[in-house]
């Protein structure tokens, strides 16, 4: 039976580059994304390159669709040997998901966690799992502080679900929500590594990657134009700098994490070196409490 690797959020940015890099591996690339047209175009592109891909439509902000997508993946005739959990968003305006949650909480945490909970038990022994997170969860990371982030501001999953964060956070709309939801996903990744010792589960801080679609949707027209057409051209020029990357480099790193890296429970930086998470995140009891809270919340809802 063919071996398959799942890539979520593969129709743009580093996820797309990861899917293209994985197409060369000879394995079936299981493309999971929310936009049918973009999915089909990518599937065709991979076929053109001589690779093999199947498309699974999934909006991560809608838990019912996530569950359906998981069932569809599990019904495929492939041995699942890898999973790159890369889909994510950064919003500016408060928006609600299909189930009434703050959109970033649903998209960055509830959806990916639900998919992983359904898929991980069915991965082949030794399968590699990657979670694309963000170091903006660390309130002591100066690079992120200078950009306006104030770190992860977690209180409870119920508060996160409604976009409620303690006062004293970032002055920029959406920053506390992004830092907290990506931090929560990092906590999940590190906990999964402990819960599934037969898998290799790692997390990636991909670096500030200019020229992807992250946060572009919510920008004003001029900034949108710059983000869409200028940054993809000049972004790669900065990609060798500390804490920075390009969509291509980040995508190749994601592909490596789901094909060749043999560690588990490691948090990697944009250059592929192990890095430290925030002090809070290094506390196993904090991570375990968050994941238990998340499981309880999703079960009750
Ligand atoms: N860029 C950075 O500087 C940076 C830094 C640290 C971490 N990250 C993380 O890296 C990951 C990839 O982001 P990127 O920078 O490559 O941005 P991107 O180009 O916007 O890619 C994000 C991907 O997630 C998908 N997505 C968003 N909302 C979704 C939803 N509700 N359902 C299904 N898919 C959804 C997008 O789909 P569409 O193609 O349909 O839009 C896209 O394919 C994200 O998890 C992000 O948080 C990025």
Q: Please name which of 55, 49, 56 lies closest in space to residue 26, comparing C-alpha atoms.
A: 49
Residue 116 scores a pLDDT above 90: yes
Instruction: Give all strands of the β-sheet with 267-268 in edge-to-edge order.
Output: 52-57, 28-33, 2-8, 78-85, 128-132, 200-204, 267-268
209 lines ligand 1 (CB under 6 A): yes
Cα of 1 vs centre of ligand 1, distance in Å, is: 31
Please tell me if the CB atom of residue 214 comes closer than 6 angstroms to any atom of ligand 1: yes
Give bridge partners of residue 202 from the DSSP assignment.
130
The SS3 call for residue 141 is coil
Q: Which residue has the tokens 């919340």?
A: 297
Mean pLDDT calculated for residue range 123-147: 98
> Counting atoms of ligand 1 from 1, which one is nearest the CA of 15?
16
Domain ranges of the chain: 2-300
Which of ligand 1's atoms lies nearest the C-alpha of 178? 47
% of the chain exceeding 90 in pLDDT: 90
Phi-psi region of 230 (alpha: psi -120 to 50; beta: other; left: phi over 0): alpha
> In a 3-state reduction of DSSP, which class is residue 79?
strand
| 253 close to 206: Cβ distance less than 8 angstroms | yes
34 Cβ inside 6 Å of ligand 1: yes
Quick: pLDDT tens for 248-269: 999 999 999 999 999 999 999 9
User: What DSSP line would sit under 152-181, residue for residue?
Assistant: ---S-HHHHHTT---SS--SSTTHHHHHHH
Would you say the CB of residue 177 lies under 6 angstroms from ligand 1?
no
Q: Are strands 2-8 and 128-132 parallel, antiparallel or unpaired?
A: unpaired
pLDDT in the model for residue 83: 98
Whether the per-residue pLDDT at 238 is higher than 80: the answer is: yes
| CB of 88 closer than 6 angstroms to any ligand 1 atom | yes
Kindly report, residue by residue over 41-80, the tens digit of the pLDDT.
Answer: 999 999 999 999 999 999 999 999 999 999 999 999 999 9
Q: What integer pLDDT is reported at residue 62 of this predicted model?
A: 98
* Ligand 1 probe mutation, 7, 15, 136, most atoms within 8 A of CB: 15
Place of tokens 């990697």: 268
Ligand 1 within 6 A of CB of 174: no
- Exposed / middle / buried, residue 121 (Cβ in 10 Å: 0-12, 13-18, 19+): exposed
CA of residue 31 relative to chain centroid, distance: 14
- What whole-number percentage of the chain has pLDDT above 70? 100
C-alpha 195 to ligand 1 mean position (Å) = 26
Distance 15 CA to ligand 1 centre (A): 7
Please state the atom number of ligand 1 nearest to the C-alpha of residue 59: 32
Q: Is 107's C-beta closer than 6 angstroms to any atom of ligand 1?
A: yes
Predicted confidence (pLDDT) at residue 301 exceeds the cutoff of 90? no
List, in order, residues 6 or more apart from 34 with CB less than 8 Å away: 11, 57, 58, 59, 60
Cβ-contact 268, 202 below 8 angstroms: yes
Mean pLDDT of 285-294: 98
DSSP for residue 220: -
Confidence grade of residue 235 (pLDDT, cut at 50, 70, 90)? confident
Q: Are 90 and 219 within 8 A, CB to CB?
A: no
CA of 108 to the centre of ligand 1 (A): 9
Q: How confident is the model at residue 224 (pLDDT cuts 50, 70, 90)?
A: confident
Minimum-distance ligand 1 atom for the alpha carbon of 87: 24
The fold for domain 2-300 equals Rossmann fold (3.40.50)
Is the Cβ atom of 213 under 6 angstroms away from ligand 1? yes
The response to whether residue 87 sits with its C-beta less than 6 Å from ligand 1 reads yes
Binding site membership of 206 for ligand 1 (Cβ less than 6 Å): yes
218 pLDDT exceeds 90? no
State the pTM of this model.
0.97
- Kindly give the number of the ligand 1 atom that is closest to the alpha carbon of 212: 19
Is the pLDDT at 179 greater than 80? The verdict is: yes
CB–CB of 234/162 below 8 Å?
Answer: no
Closest residue by Cα to atom 18, ligand 1, is 213
């Amino acid at each position: 039976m063919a071996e398959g690797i799942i890539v979520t959020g593969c129709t743009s940015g580093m996820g797309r580059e990861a899917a293209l890099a994985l197409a060369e591996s000879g394995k079936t690339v299981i493309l999971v994304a929310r936009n049918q047209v973009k999915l089909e175009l990518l599937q065709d592109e991979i076929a053109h390159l001589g690779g093999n891909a199947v498309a699974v439509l999934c909006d991560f902000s809608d838990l019912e669709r996530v569950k359906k997508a998981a069932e569809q993946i599990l019904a495929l005739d492939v041995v699942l040997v890898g999973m790159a959990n890369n889909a994510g968003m950064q919003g500016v305006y408060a928006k609600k998901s299909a189930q009434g949650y703050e959109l970033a909480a649903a998209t960055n945490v509830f959806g990916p966690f639900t998919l992983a909970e359904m898929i991980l038990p069915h991965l082949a022994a030794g399968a590699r799992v990657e979670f694309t997170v963000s170091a903006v969860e660390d309130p002591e990371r100066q690079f992120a502080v200078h950009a306006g982030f104030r770190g992860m501001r977690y209180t409870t999953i119920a508060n996160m679900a409604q976009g409620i964060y303690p006062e004293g956070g970032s002055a920029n709309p959406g920053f506390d929500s992004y830092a907290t939801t990506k931090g929560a996903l990092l906590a999940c990744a590190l906990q999964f590594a402990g819960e599934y010792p037969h898998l290799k589960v790692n997390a990636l801080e991909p670096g500030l990657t200019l020229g992807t679609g992250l946060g572009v949707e919510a920008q004003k027209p001029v900034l949108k134009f710059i983000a869409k057409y200028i940054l993809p051209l000049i972004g790669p020029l900065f990609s060798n700098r500390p804490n920075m990357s390009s969509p291509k480099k980040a995508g190749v790193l994601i592909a490596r994490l789901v094909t060749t890296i043999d560690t588990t429970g490691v948090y990697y930086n944009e250059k592929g070196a192990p890095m430290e998470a925030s002090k809070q995140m290094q506390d196993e009891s904090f991570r375990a409490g968050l994941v238990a809270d998340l499981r309880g919340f999703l079960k009750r809802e």
